[in-house]
Chains A and B, each alone.
Chain A
Amino acid sequence: MKRLSRYRRHKAAGPLLLIFALFAIGTTFSVASATVTETQSVFDRSASIEEGKQIFLKGCSSCHGLNAEGASIAPSLIGVGAASVDFQVGTGRMPMADMSTQAMRKPRVYNEEETAALAAYVASLAPGPAIPGESELNYERDGNTAEGGELFRNNCAMCHNFAGQGGALSQGKYAPTLMGVEPKHIYEAMVTGPQSMPVFSDKTITPEEKLSIIKWIKSAEAEPNLGGATMGRIGPVSEGLLAWVLGLGLLIGIAVWLTTRAR
Chain B
Amino acid sequence: MTTTEKKIGTAANFVDERLGAAKWVKKSLNKVFPDHWTFMFGEVCMYSFIILLLSGTFLTFWFDPSQKEVVYNGSYEPLQGLKMSAAYASTLNISFEVRGGLLMRQIHHWAANIFMAAIVAHLLRVFFTGAFRKPREFNWILGILLLTLGLVEGLLGYSLPDDLLSGTGLRITSAIIQAIPVVGTYAAFFLFGGEFPGTDFIPRIFTLHILIIPGIFLAVITIHVMLVWYQKHTQFPGVGRTEKNVVGHPILPVYMAKAGGFFFVVFGITAFISAVASINPIWLYGPYTPGQISAGSQPDWYMGWLDGLVRMAPPLETHAFGHTISWNILIPAVIVPGIIFTGMALYPFIESWITGDKREHHLLDRPRNVPNRTALGVMSITFVMISLINGGNDIIATNFDLSINQIMWFSRIGIFILPPLAFIITKRLCLSLQRADRELLLHGAETGRLLRLPHGEFVEVHAPISPEKAYLLQSHEQLVPLEIEDVDARGVRRPGAIKNKLQRRLSKAHAVSVPKVTEQELKEIENH
The interface size bin for chain A is: 35 or more
Q: Are B293 and A158 in contact (CB under 8 A)?
A: yes
DSSP majority for the A interface? Answer: helix
- Residue of A159, A226, A250 near B281 (CB, 8 A) is A226
Could you tell me the distance between the alpha carbons of A230 and B258 in the complex, rounded to whole angstroms? 34
- Of all chain B residues, which has the CB nearest A148? B78
Could you tell me the distance between the alpha carbons of A231 and B39 in the complex, rounded to whole angstroms? 31
The interface size bin for chain B is: 35 or more
Could you tell me the distance between the alpha carbons of A158 and B297 in the complex, rounded to whole angstroms? 9
- Residue of B37, B274, B294, B300 near A228 (CB, 8 A) is B274
Q: Are B164 and A162 in contact (CB under 8 A)?
A: yes
Residue of B39, B95, B277, B297 with highest tally of chain A CB at under 10 A: B277
- Chain A residues 115-165 with CB under 8 Å of chain B are 145-147, 149-150, 153-154, 157-163
Kindly specify which of A18-26, A168-176, A201-209 makes contact with the partner chain.
A168-176
Could you tell me the distance between the alpha carbons of A79 and B230 in the complex, rounded to whole angstroms? 81
DSSP majority for the B interface? Answer: helix
- Chain A residues 206-236 with CB under 8 Å of chain B are 216, 219-220, 223, 225-231, 233-236
Q: Are B292 and A157 in contact (CB under 8 A)?
A: yes
Known: A145-B77, A236-B300, A258-B37. A231 touches B278 (CB 8 A): yes
Chain B CB within 8 A of A199 CB? no
Query: What sequence of 0s and 1s flags, for each residue 113-129 of chain B, a beta carbon within 8 Å of any chain A beta carbon?
Result: 11001100100000000
- Chain B residues 71-95 with CB under 8 Å of chain A are 77-82, 95
Q: Are B117 and A216 in contact (CB under 8 A)?
A: no
Kindly specify which of B262-270, B309-317, B438-446 makes contact with the partner chain.
B262-270
Q: A146-B82, A166-B295, A235-B296 are in contact. List 16 more A-B contacts (CB 8 A).
A: A168-B404, A171-B403, A172-B404, A172-B405, A220-B284, A226-B281, A235-B165, A235-B294, A236-B280, A238-B395, A239-B277, A240-B304, A247-B269, A250-B269, A254-B265, A256-B37
Could you tell me the distance between the alpha carbons of A227 and B79 in the complex, rounded to whole angstroms? 17
Could you tell me the distance between the alpha carbons of A154 and B82 in the complex, rounded to whole angstroms? 14
Q: Which residues of A contact B304 (CB under 8 A)?
A: 236-237, 240
Could you tell me the distance between the alpha carbons of A252 and B38 in the complex, rounded to whole angstroms? 8
Known: A146-B80, A259-B40. A166 touches B398 (CB 8 A): yes
Q: Are B301 and A243 in contact (CB under 8 A)?
A: yes
Which 3 pairs from chain A and chain B are nearest by CB?
A167-B295, A240-B301, A172-B403
- Residue of A175, A229, A251 near B276 (CB, 8 A) is A229
Q: Which residues of B contact A13 (CB under 8 A)?
A: none
Could you tell me the distance between the alpha carbons of A172 and B291 in the complex, rounded to whole angstroms? 26
Please list 7 pairs of residues, one from A and one from B, whose beta carbons are closer than 8 Å in the complex, sorted by A's number. A171-B404, A226-B278, A243-B117, A243-B273, A247-B110, A255-B44, A259-B36
Chain B CB within 8 A of A242 CB? yes
Q: Which residues of B contact A160 (CB under 8 A)?
A: 295
Q: Are B117 and A248 in contact (CB under 8 A)?
A: yes
